[in-house]
């Protein structure tokens, strides 16, 4: 046999080697990228390309595929200072009319006498964000989701304007003082719990952190437990989930009682 002819297509052995190598490659790609991933319980790829991307470790959001384990993304509302715009009288008036549907649970003046959250004096960007999250199904509550679904962006902004405008039902803010519960005052750095007053008012108020002073105790407990279990996941970057997760039931009860306490004391400003 001439030198070089070994690597010629006319050589049966050469042909066989190339064809079987190609076939083997295709089969192993199919097994590794399509069949193996498809037998995983959480497999959700909609097509061959998704399957290949999944197996190669491409994050599912790059391909648009939904990841079953993480469910919907936390929240898609971008908080903007613009939401805290000065409220015009028209918006407040329209908001007041829309809010007539809310008094049954949130109270005539936005101060709840049931276990629904107070809305009076709530920061407008908080009301806007929470309603948008209910509307998009990112915070779950059957009734609030249904109500929010029917609201336009304008309705939501007007309602937020109305509640922000209501005579300040906000109780005096917590000021730093040695007698505050430790978690409220200094948090617990070893467990990565930041002090509540560094976001919820007192020392600082972070954009999007709700006014929680004077909220019904049961509501506060319920929300903290929901963050802890991950049932509520509309907090951006998991900031509340990360804090609630290491908290014990007793700590949750203690901080909730602390924040609810002023409602009964009737200490208003």
Positions in the binding site for ligand HEC (CB under 6 A): 98, 101-102, 104-106, 116-117, 119, 127, 129-131, 139, 141, 143-144, 147, 159, 183, 193-194, 196, 198-200, 206, 208-210, 212, 220, 223-224, 234-235, 239-240, 243, 255
**Which alpha helices (H) appear in the chain, and where do they start and end?**
12-29, 36-38, 48-55, 60-63, 89-98, 103-106, 124-135, 142-149, 153-165, 182-185, 217-229, 239-244, 249-265
CA distance linking residue 211 with residue 232, whole number of Å: 18
Q: Which is nearer to ligand HEC, 45 or 127 (CB)?
A: 127
Going 39 to 42 to 48 to 53, the CA torsion angle's sign is negative
Instruction: Report angle CA 146, 150, 152 to the nearest 5 degrees.
Output: 135
Return the number of the residue (58 or 85) whose C-beta is nearest ligand HEC.
Answer: 85
CB of 128 to ligand HEC, least distance (A): 8
What is the closest distance, in whole angstroms, from the C-beta atom of residue 122 to ligand HEC in the complex?
Answer: 6
Find the shortest distance in angstroms from Cβ 104 to ligand HEC.
5
The CB-of-180 to ligand HEC minimum distance in angstroms stands at 11
Cβ-based nearer residue to ligand HEC, 96 or 194: 194
Q: Which is nearer to ligand HEC, 58 or 203 (CB)?
A: 203
β-partners of residue 205 are 200
């Amino acid at each position: 046999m001439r030198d070089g002819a070994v690597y010629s297509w006319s050589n049966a052995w050469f042909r066989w080697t190339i064809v079987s190598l190609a076939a083997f490659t295709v089969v192993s790609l199919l097994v590794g990228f399509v069949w193996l991933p498809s037998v995983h319980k959480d497999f959700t790829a909609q097509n061959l390309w998704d399957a290949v991307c999944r197996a190669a470790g491409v994050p599912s959001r790059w391909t648009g595929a939904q990841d079953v384990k993480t469910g919907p993304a936390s929240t898609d509302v971008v908080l903007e200072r613009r939401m805290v715009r000065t409220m015009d009288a028209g918006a407040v008036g329209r908001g007041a009319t829309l809010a007539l549907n809310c008094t049954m649970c949130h109270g005539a003046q936005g101060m709840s006498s049931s276990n629904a959250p107070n809305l009076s004096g709530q920061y407008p960007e908080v009301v806007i964000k929470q309603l948008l999250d209910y509307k998009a199904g990112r915070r779950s509550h059957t009734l609030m989701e249904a109500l929010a679904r029917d609201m336009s962006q304008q309705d939501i902004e007007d309602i937020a304007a109305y509640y922000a405008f209501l005579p300040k039902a906000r109780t005096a803010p917590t000021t730093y003082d040695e007698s505050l519960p430790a978690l409220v005052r200094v948090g617990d750095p070893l467990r990565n719990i930041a002090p509540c007053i560094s976001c919820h008012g007192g020392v600082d108020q972070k954009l999007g952190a709700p006014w929680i002073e004077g909220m019904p105790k049961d509501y506060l407990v319920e929300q903290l437990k929901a963050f802890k279990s991950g049932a509520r996941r509309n907090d951006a970057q998991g900031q509340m989930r990360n804090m609630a997760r290491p908290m014990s039931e007793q700590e949750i009860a203690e901080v909730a009682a602390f924040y609810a306490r002023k409602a009964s004391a009737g200490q208003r400003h």
